Amino acid sequence: MSDDHKEPAVQAPPSESDVAAFNKHLKSYVIIGGIEFLFTFLTVGISFFFENMGTKIAVTLLSAAANAILVAAILMHLKDEKKMIWKVLFFTGAFLVVLFFLTWLARSDEIAGVLHNHH
């Protein structure tokens, strides 16, 4: 960290073209909000549509994941984000997969009588 670093002082007001670009963004945020509402209702709807629990879990979580991807990509600006952030998230995702793999491992390597819970 350098002590002589100076952050730029008060920024100039945005230019007209910047304002126009932001206004365009604003519209897209509102549209994304509407799509997220739709995904929320879709998630609820399909969860009551399927009777088979496996299908129900898969399809409902898929719908929720689509909603989550919208939030991450558009609202969190991940789609335009720097490589550094993607690297961090790649490692996080990898560790998360390992974590769930451990859960699967624990389930598949069951010691009789210790995993089942009544409540």
Partner 1 sequence: MEIPHTVTARPDTGLYNAKLAIWLFLASEVMLFGGLFSAYVFLRMGADDGYWPHGLLNVPIGTINTIILVSSSITIVLAWASLKMRQWARHKMYLGITIGLGVLFLGIKLGNEYPAKFDHFGVFIKKDKWAQYEQYLDNDGLKKKGLPPRPEISGHLHEVEVDLTGADRQKFDDFLLGRGLEKKPAEGGENANLYEIEVKSPRDAEALRKAPGVKVAGFKLALDEVNADPTNVKFDHPSFFLPGHTEKIATIHGEDVDWWSAFYPKHSAYFSAYFLITGLHGLHVLGGIVVFTYFFFFGHKIYRRNPEQQANRIEVVGLYWHFVDLVWIFVFPIFYLL
> Minimum CB separation from partner 1 for residue 79, in Å?
13
- In the chain, what is the straight-line distance between the N-terminal and C-terminal CA atoms, in Å? 54
Instruction: Pick out residues in 14-33 that bind partner 1 (CB under 8 A).
Output: 14, 18-19, 22, 25-26, 29-30, 32-33
Of 17, 109, 111, 117, the residue at the interface with partner 1 (CB under 8 A) is 117
Instruction: Report how far residue 8's alpha carbon sits from residue 2's, in angstroms, rounded to the nearest whole number.
Output: 15
Instruction: Pick out residues in 63-82 that bind partner 1 (CB under 8 A).
Output: 63-64, 67-68, 71-72, 75-76, 82
DSSP string computed for 43-105: HHHHHHH--SHHHHHHHHHHHHHHHHHHIIIIIT-GGG--HHHHHHHHHHHHHHHHHHHHHHH
Which long-range contacts (C-beta less than 8 Å, at least 24 apart) are formed by 17-23? none
Binding residues for partner 1, rule: CB under 8 A, are: 1-3, 5-11, 13-14, 18-19, 22, 25-26, 29-30, 32-33, 36-37, 40-41, 43-44, 47-48, 51, 53, 56-57, 60-61, 63-64, 67-68, 71-72, 75-76, 82-85, 88-89, 91-92, 95-96, 99-100, 102-103, 106-107, 115-119
